Structure 1
């Protein structure tokens, strides 16, 4: 824990530096303990970004990981410094790539669950994320399980080029196979959900929920403005705007999601 130090007097007054945190949406300065345990702003209900392992603990205590040792092959990927970037991300998240997948239990319902990690190269989808998602949906299909995805991603991973873009159709096909079995799929979109992830499996779910004020879209607003030369509303690409226009089924605070998930599972799971 870091402290402020009075160098002239040579002692520490033991006031931690990390007691306060600023909400990215309403800009309120918050006493950090006030946002626990769901990491939710008490003023505007914005849900802070969490690492995959931290978020998973809010949803299930029973979890068996799938494909936890899968790593990207760099044989055909020549992007500069990509290996080093992967190494930094692995140390930061304790994951081999940007998603944690496995079989869990939510309020008595056995489910297949995947959690994207925004701290692993912005939760971007490369070959490993794609393969793990395909395996998750196919495992759920074979076991007759619903799938829940907790999504926070910047989109397809540019370092892997066409290999990452191919994952959009690969995962979409797995979602369709799962759906044809009559099985339930729920996606919960966190801040941000962008790019190739939003353009594929994020919106293919039977029910699409979003967290308050989450940024959701394909390209960023600056890129869209430069291309179209149009002005957009201030809440453009926020969850509330998407719900107003019928792209999101509902906006649910993280602190309320477990009960909503349980209700949906009661309705959709035999």
Structure 2
């Protein structure tokens, strides 16, 4: 059914009057499951991207000469809604990534305006360019299902919804296989991703259709190699998200 919807979306977006709503999917609705808090300490060969002390491993996306301007306090860092996206100094190909995130207990808003951010598995340009794993408060918060937490945004619905309630920590464990390209810049092998959300499998070796597109169908429009990992400052009015315990292993 999802494949049919995506094909329909691809047909729709050829029109000049394409809208964001054209690629929003509302069914199937992933089953809600309950999980305990899950935190995993970094293994011995991990690169520590955030250790609770500083953002020395991060820079501003739109000007990589500037240090990341998000706020660090009490061993977590918090989105700065006014500063823009941040991304890692280092670029990565295939990897295993662990990241923990939390929305405030007093969060307000609804739908996409409730704790919205994004984990871009490969940042391939300024702004929101790249491959987005959605971060959103999806605890009793209705929205289009290919835009809820742990969706491959505007592409693939998660297999389940294990989002913990506001004020509690969530975790993503990601296995990323980067796309490869032929000498003529056409796609040789598309990107693939496996995601465990609070320990629950929600993306199972999913083959991506291309980088994230807010309007229109995703497609591989440019060749690239290893890329930084990016976190999004979405700028919605609800209270900002916090992050902790981020580490990565090259594969």
Q: Which has the higher helix share?
A: 1
TM-score by shorter chain over 0.5? no
TM-score under structure 2 length normalisation: 0.28
Could you say which structure has the greater relative contact order, defined with CA pairs below 8 angstroms and 6 or more residues apart?
Answer: 2
TM-score under structure 1 length normalisation: 0.27
